[in-house]
């Protein structure tokens, strides 16, 4: 069994965060390992509490996993609030020579935000193979992404919404969809972890991008309603 590592937050419902990442890794044939950047109290109604882990603990978790289970790829989700912690994690990841996909989660769909100071993301941006911000995150990070390779998820284009791939700062691919109004939990997590798995398989970036988009299309289509929850839960 080949392994992938996620360095991200913990959502106790499994709708997003490391539990969602690991489930997605398994869907693509990988076993998942994880290091936790932040613990949360949340459900589909929103994030109610955020507690970042102590930096040395996070670094030790990453080192402990790598000691025995070297991954074929790494997905990074919610970054730590401290730049120095992100720098230490980035130094470790840069030594692995594997794809690093960074989903720069700044705030959830509903509830308390995670990271306000975007400058703390710089070490992780520098070490990343590709970043996957949603449109609102892209607007906040635009200046930091100059010349980078990234995918903007959910870019509004008139009556459609598009996923757009930029390679070294220039648009290279685009897939557009009709707006459906469905709010589905964990789409960003699932997209970035799917992309990580596909790159770890050896696919080129354009092909991995297309297949990850197709996966999320099915992920959204199969989502189901839970009574009282403002977001749909994925069945994949």
Return the H-helix or E-strand segment holding 4. Answer: strand 3-10
Q: How confident is the model at residue 64, as a pLDDT? A: 97
pLDDT tens per residue, range 42-78: 988 889 999 999 999 999 999 999 999 999 999 999 9
| Residue 150 scores a pLDDT above 90 | yes
pLDDT tens per residue, range 165-180: 999 999 999 999 998 8
What is the mean pLDDT of the segment spanning 97-107? Answer: 94
Q: How confident is the model at residue 158, as a pLDDT? A: 87
Asked whether residue 43 is assigned to any structural domain, the reply reads yes
Q: Domain containing 203 — which CATH number?
A: 3.40.1190.20
Asked whether residue 188 is assigned to any structural domain, the reply reads yes
What's the predicted TM-score (pTM) here? 0.95
Asked whether residue 17 is assigned to any structural domain, the reply reads yes
Asked whether residue 13 is assigned to any structural domain, the reply reads yes
Number of domains into which the chain is organized: 1
Q: Which domain holds residue 107?
A: 3-132+183-221
Asked whether residue 178 is assigned to any structural domain, the reply reads no
Asked whether residue 228 is assigned to any structural domain, the reply reads no
| Residue 108 scores a pLDDT above 80 | no
pLDDT tens per residue, range 201-220: 999 999 999 999 999 999 99
What is the mean pLDDT of the segment spanning 136-158? Answer: 95
């Amino acid at each position: 069994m080949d392994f992938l590592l996620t360095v991200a937050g913990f959502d106790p419902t499994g709708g997003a965060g490391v539990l969602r990442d690991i489930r997605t890794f398994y869907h693509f044939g990988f076993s998942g390992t994880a290091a936790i950047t932040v613990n949360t109290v949340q459900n589909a109604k929103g994030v109610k509490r955020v507690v970042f882990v102590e930096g040395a603990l996070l670094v030790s978790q990453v080192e402990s996993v790598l000691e025995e289970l070297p991954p074929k790829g790494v997905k990074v989700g919610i970054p730590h609030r401290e730049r120095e912690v992100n720098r230490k994690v980035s130094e470790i990841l840069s030594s692995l020579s594997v794809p690093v996909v960074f989903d720069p989660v700044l705030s959830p769909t509903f509830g308390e935000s995670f990271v306000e100071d975007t400058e703390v993301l710089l070490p992780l941006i520098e070490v990343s193979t590709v970043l996957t911000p949603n449109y609102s995150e892209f607007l906040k990070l635009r200046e930091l992404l100059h010349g980078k390779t990234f995918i903007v998820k959910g870019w509004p284009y008139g009556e459609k919404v598009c996923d757009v791939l930029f390679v070294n700062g220039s648009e290279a691919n685009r897939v557009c969809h009709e707006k459906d109004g469905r709010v589905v939990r964990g789409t960003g997590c699932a997209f970035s972890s799917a992309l990580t798995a596909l790159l770890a398989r050896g696919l080129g970036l354009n092909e991995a991008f297309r297949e990850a988009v197709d996966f999320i299309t099915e992920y959204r289509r199969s989502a189901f309603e839970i009574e009282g929850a403002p977001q749909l839960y994925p069945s994949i």
